[in-house]
Amino acid sequence: METKVNYALVGAFVLILGSVLVAIALWLASGGAFQKKYDLYLAVAQESVSGLNLNAVVKYNGVDIGKVQQISLDHGDPSQVLLLLAIEKGTPIRVDTVAMLKTQGLTGFSYIELSGGTKGSALLQKTAGNEYPVIRTKPSLGARLENVLTSLVSKLDSTSDSVNSFLSDENKAAFKNALADIAAVAHTIAQRKDEIDSAMKDAALAAKNASRASLQISPTLTQIDQGAKAVEKMGNEFAQMSIATTKLVESVGADAQRFTSDTLPELERLLGELTVLSASMRRLSEQIERNPDGLLFGRTPVSNGPGETSKGAAKP
């Protein structure tokens, strides 16, 4: 019995299977389930990026983490080159991460090297006015060498100009005259060599004598120093004695003033009373000399003289 085949169904099956196989091939070619996801970052280079191509490698401390997706010139500032970097999602790009252009080996192919990024610093985020987070850049080794060589060449040019200025005709003539004067001085010194030797010997002898004299003078200076110290000590003692004398004179003056103000009036009164007492004693002595009996028998009345009465008699 002959089997009937449905060619339409077989054709449809072949077409569907072919389409599925092509889709699977394309999916696998694009990475399939293992396709990596990227975050976009912007780096602004301040130098030439010759040798850097699209899809060039981006490394972080030597590890491949992405690629250069776009290279363009900053139309606002042509000295800057804008590099759009596609970096694997989850890579810790931090605010202190720095991008630098490097050259790989002798091939001359350039790539972007990221470095830095401390553990405690914050992750890099895009800021206002920027479409992508901006990674800081630093000059490449070639740019730094170029700057150093440029500065060195500039300094060499300046030094060359200075040397040319120094070696002008006027300076050459002055230098020649100075050499001639030095030669003349050297010739004169050579002619007077013996005199100079004698003078140096005399100077050495004088220095030796001065040293010996200083050794001899040293004890005398010591004695003078001791005498000066003794005079200084005596002066200090005299000053202390002068201070003590001044205090004594001030004390005696105060006592004398107090004696004059307090005792002198009493002394004057006493002298007055002694004067009165002396006069009384003198009269008493005179009376005793005239009438010694009066000391024992008392005073006898004096008889009246001729023509005197008892009433008008004078008392001795």
Q: What is the model's pTM?
A: 0.43
Q: What angle do CA 40, 43, 46 make, to 5 degrees?
A: 165
Q: Tell me which residue of 86, 151, 98 sits closest to 124, measured CA to CA.
A: 98
CA separation, residue 184 to residues 99, 178, 181, 234 (Å)? 68, 10, 5, 66
pLDDT at 314: 43
Q: Which residues pair with 41 in a beta bridge?
A: 85
Strand, helix or coil for residue 101:
strand
pLDDT at 311: 46
Question: With left for phi above 0 and alpha for psi between -120 and 50, is residue 107 left, alpha or beta?
Answer: alpha
Domain boundaries, the chain: 35-138, 139-191
What gap in Å lies between CA 83 and CA 241, rounded to an integer? 99
pLDDT at 309: 55
What gap in Å lies between CA 313 and CA 307, rounded to an integer? 10
pLDDT at 26: 80
How does pLDDT run along the chain (316 residues), one tens digit per residue? 456 667 777 788 888 988 888 888 887 766 555 567 889 999 999 888 888 889 999 999 989 999 999 999 988 898 899 999 999 998 889 999 999 998 876 666 889 999 988 888 899 888 888 889 999 999 888 888 888 888 888 888 888 777 777 677 777 777 778 888 888 888 888 887 788 878 888 888 888 887 777 777 777 777 777 767 876 777 677 677 767 767 766 765 666 566 566 666 777 777 777 787 777 777 777 776 666 665 555 555 555 656 655 444 444 4
The residue whose two tokens read 């200084």 is 232
pLDDT at 264: 64
Q: Tell me which residue of 129, 132, 36, 133 sits closest to 94, measured CA to CA.
A: 133
